[in-house]
Amino acid sequence: MDLALFVFCAYLFIAKLMAYSITDVILLKKDLFQNYDRQIIPVTDMNTSVKVSMYFSLLSVYELDMKNQLLSTSAAFKISWRDELMIWNSTNYSGLDRLTVTLASIWKPDVIILNSVSTQKTLTNDDDNHYVTVNHDGSTEWWAYVNLQTHCKVDMTNYPFETQICDINVTKSYLNDQSEILRSEGDSLSLANYVPNGEWEVLSFSSYRQVFFRSNTEISGLQLKIKMKRKRTFYTWNFLMPSISLSIADCFSFLLPAKSSEKLGLSIFVFLANAVLIRLFNDSVPPNSDDVSNFGRLLWINILISGLVIMVNVIITSLFYCKSPKCISKCCFNCTDMFKCREITKRCKCCEHDHPKEKKEKKSNNKIESPTTKVKEEYTLITNGNISIEVKEGFDQLYIHQSGMKIQLEQ
């Protein structure tokens, strides 16, 4: 029991001696920054380069603007490097092994977002508002939380049911590979803090080493690839289902009777509705797209079919209201039977201009026949009480007999 008490008291005494105070912090900063120049690359051997490690955490995807081809994201960068000019012995400062300083007071790695749309491509504008942590061995960590807006080349082939891959290019602005090397080691990417987006689902997140060109000079960097898949629920119910419904309604216009005024009205309504869908679709796609959307092709095919349906319904209505079938050729008779589903021209005689040879043969036969020969006329007699209706076939004549009176009706 006495031995345990002795060990405990010794531990408290050593801990009290090792506890640093504000005086130790002030003294350490004074010693470190006495001859420190933040414009000098922090290496003792100028033939070596500073190895900068990048850790990237995707926080959220705000929007992918298809028309302007811009990706808006929120991300966190952890940038680590070793500053050989910020090394000290912690025992000389009461065990002080970590120091927090402003980014403006030490050397900062040259890191930019190459494909950023803003004029400020660096990760920070005001260095005084950012702090870094420096360890006694010179290892430094800098966390930067930024909202990025980068260019993204979109593929419109399967829009709006597509998968997009967007890049975030990280490189250097003024240093070369002999002074600074950007790298990502181990598990340098994370989606642990990602907030899901209502429109896009992130499928994968990866990084690759990439070579960029600056004034015909190769500069190494990192390329972060975000693979996203568009969620289909919204576009299915707002574009695909209306398009299918309009196509079905267009087919039902043929079931309406020809004398109905809604036959053409329904066809025109479907045509205009397809035109509105195409307008809404075109407002969301890039105006100078290299790829044409397959769904856009489908909408244009639908509006073309709607135009053809209007033409066919106009022809059907015209044939229905035609007074005499004599002026309609045989091909028109076949079309009438097909669309109106009734035989109105099977017993009609052919037009004289369609069969000139038959007309000549009839004239020659009339000359040979005896003048006493009479052509037998066939007719149909319909009676109902004291009223009888006589219809002569082959002639446009209709007689009504009532109480010995014969009334001829002309069509």
Name the stretches of the chain with pLDDT < 70.
Answer: 1-20, 120, 124-128, 186, 288-289, 323-411
Check residue 83 and give its pLDDT. Answer: 92
Specify the CATH number of the domain 234-321.
1.20.58.390
pTM for this one? 0.67
Check residue 383 and give its pLDDT. Answer: 56
Spatial neighbors of 236 by CB under 8 A, at least 6 apart, are none
- Strand (E) or helix (H) holding 50: strand 50-65
Q: First and final CA of the chain: distance in angstroms?
A: 130
The rounded mean pLDDT for the chain is 77
Check residue 5 and give its pLDDT. Answer: 59
Instruction: Please state the domain extents for the chain.
Output: 2-231, 234-321, 377-411
**Intrachain domains 2-231 and 234-321 with the same fold:** no
* φ, ψ of residue 317 in degrees (nearest 5): -65, -40
Spatial neighbors of 87 by CB under 8 A, at least 6 apart, are 136, 137, 138
Check residue 263 and give its pLDDT. Answer: 86
Query: Cα separations (Å) of 291 from 270, 288, 301?
Result: 27, 9, 17
Question: 116 in helix, strand or coil?
Answer: strand
CA distance 10 to 301: 88
Please state which CATH class domain 2-231 belongs to: mainly beta
Check residue 375 and give its pLDDT. Answer: 41
